[in-house]
Amino acid sequence: MIKLLALDMDGTLLNSEKKISQENIAAIHKAIKAGVKLVLCTGRPPFGVQPYFEQLGLTQENEYVIVDNGCAIHQTSDWSVIDWVALTKEDIRYLYELTLNSSIQLTLFDEKHYFVVGEKPSDMVERDATYVFTNPVEISLDEALSGKHIMFQAMFLGEKEAVDSFEARFSKDICQRFSGVRSQPVIYEAMPSGVTKAFALERLAKKLKISPQEIMAMGDANNDIEMLEFAGLGIAMGNASDHVKNLADDVTCSNDEHGVAVAIEKHILN
C-alpha cells in the first residue's frame, strides 16, 4: 500500500508550459484524502516551489517539500527547514575556481536568494531565475564565503556546448567531492557529497516511519534516478529519456498528458 507520493516538479508535475493541470491537482487531492502523504522533490529552491504549492490548494495540510535536489526539507505548515545539508566555504571556493576563464557562471542558493558569484548575471541566468519567480543577485566571492548565508546548492549555467565541455573536463573531479548531475542541457549541478533527492527522501521517510516499499516516486530526469530506484514503486514520465524509463518500474503518460494523474489513478486509487 502506497503511503507517500514523491513528485518531481519540472517535467513531471508541471507541463511544458510550467503549469499544473487541473487533472493532476484533482488526483493529488484524492490521494491525500486516501491518506497518502505528498512530498514534492525538486531541484528548485523553496521560493520557486511555494507559488505552485499554493496552486495545489493544500493550505490546511502539513505536507513536505524536498528542495535544492535534496539539500533541504521544508514542512509546508510554516515552510520551516526541518533537515538540511549545506556547502562549506571550501566547497564554494573550489567550485568558483572551476569557472575562472570560462563563460560558465556559478550560481548559489540559500533559502531566499538566487546568487551569481563574482560577475553580473548572464541572460541565461536571468532567464532561469524567472522560472523560480525571482531575480538573480550578484555576490562577491568574499561575501559567498563570509558565512552570512547558508548555501545549499550550486549550479553551473552556460550554453550547451560550454556545459558539454565543462562536464567533460570537470565532472569526474566534481563527483569525487560532491553529488554532481547534468540536470539540463545548460545546467550542471553540484550538491554536498552524497546528497540527492533520494538521500533526503530516505531521511524524511524514516522520520515519518514509512518504508521504501510504501513510497511511489515519479520523475523524468537524471536527478530523479536515485529517487526512482529508492522507492518501492518508481514511475518514469512518458517524456523521460529511455535511460530513465529503463530504470523505472512503470512508465506513465507525459507531463503534457496529465501523467501524474494517470499514475495516481492506476497505482494508488485503484
- Catalytic residue ranges: 8
Is the CB of residue 115 less than 8 Å from the CB of residue 108? yes
Q: How far is Cα 175 from Cα 3, in angstroms, rounded to an integer?
A: 33
- Which single residue is written with the C-alpha cell 524567472? 130
SS3 assignment for 193-217 = CCCCHHHHHHHHHHHHCCCHHHEEE
User: C-alpha angle 200/33/20, rounded to 5°?
Assistant: 65
CA dihedral 131, 132, 133, 135 (to 10 degrees): -90
Q: Is 68 left (phi over 0), alpha (psi -120 to 50) or beta?
A: left
Q: Please, what sign has the CA dihedral across residues 249, 254, 260, 264?
A: negative
Radius of gyration of the chain (CA): 18
Q: How far is Cα 93 from Cα 111, in angstroms, rounded to an integer?
A: 20
Beta bridge pairs of residue 4? 37, 215
Q: How far is Cα 136 from Cα 116, in angstroms, rounded to an integer?
A: 7
Cell numbers placing 68: 535544492
Provide the 10 A C-beta neighbour count for residue 266.
12
At 108 the three-state DSSP class reads: strand
